[in-house]
A and B are shown apart, each in its own frame.
Chain A
Amino acid sequence: NAGVTQTPKFQVLKTGQSMTLQCAQDMNHNSMYWYRQDPGMGLRLIYYSASEGTTDKGEVPNGYNVSRLNKREFSLRLESAAPSQTSVYFCASSEHRPGQGLDTQYFGPGTRLTVL
């Protein structure tokens, strides 16, 4: 199992350019998440998808869009990149079984994005 994979690992954009960050998981999880992490800070939720076919805004959704393409894949799109979007982006999927006291998120390796 590869777990959670993200592409690309690094990206440099100019202000106004667009790009899509790709994420895939092979653990058959229902829920997937996109976070951003600024230097020395915690993780902030951008968007999440509790199940295939649904997406919801997190804490910092402005400037981003997402697509839950199928159960495996969840992409994040920046339509017009801004320097404030310079950050490390993590995708995660989670296994949640309340009745069994189980709740674990698995993170991808991250994408380091710089917007000039």
Chain B
Amino acid sequence: GQSLEQPSEVTAVEGAIVQINCTYQTSGFYGLSWYQQHDGGAPTFLSYNALDGLEETGRFSSFLSRSDSYGYLLLQELQMKDSASYFCAVRGFGQNFVFGPGTRLSVLP
């Protein structure tokens, strides 16, 4: 099976950089994904790491280390609109998906 852990809450100020960690226990998976969800909305895709290393998409970057069973999402130049919940997720080899419990990010002015 698979299980993922994330911090429940993170707070940062506008313009800052924040890192949201995700640790996992899994028997095997294709890659680690990150999704953003605003209150009352649906999750939307942010980033995907199939291989170890850093993936950069604008202000967002994501990192994966399979040897450490660890990944993170890095958000730079924080804006108020980044206040949302962030979920890491893995796709198992059986094509199922497992999501982490989510990290609620609050961006303060």
Q: Are A50 and B95 in contact (CB under 8 A)?
A: yes
Residues of A in contact (CB 8 Å), total: 27
| A43 close to B95 (CB less than 8 A) | no
Kindly state the separation between the CA atoms of A58 and B89 in the bound complex, as whole angstroms: 14
- B26 interface contact, C-beta 8 A: no
Report B19 CB to chain A, min CB distance, Å. 19
Bound Cα distance from A107 to B87, whole angstroms:
14
**Stretch binding the partner chain, chosen from A19-27, A68-76, A78-86, A94-102:** A94-102
Contact A105 B45 (CB under 8 A): yes
Contact B42 A104 (CB under 8 A): no
Q: Chain B contacts of A103 at CB under 8 A?
A: 30-31, 33, 48, 50, 91
B101 — nearest CB in chain A belongs to which residue? A42
Q: In the complex, which residues of chain A have a beta carbon less than 8 angstroms from the beta carbon of B89?
A: 43, 105
Interface size on B, residues (CB 8 A): 23
Minimum distance in angstroms from A29 CB to a CB of chain B = 12
**Contact in complex: B45, A104 (CB < 8 Å):** yes
Pick from A42, A43, A56, A96: contact of B91, CB under 8 Å: A96
| Interfacial chain B residues near A101, Cβ < 8 Å | 31, 48, 50-51
With beta carbons under 8 angstroms apart, the residue of A42, A50, A90, A102 that contacts B42 is A90
Q: How far is the CA of A51 from the CA of B98 in the complex (A)?
A: 18
Distance between Cα atoms of A98 and B87 in the complex (Å): 21
Contact with B along A52-74 (1 / 0, CB 8 A): 00001011000000000000000
- Interface pair B35/A105, CB less than 8 Å apart: yes
**Contacts of B85-104 to chain A: CB distance below 8 A:** 87, 89, 91, 94-102
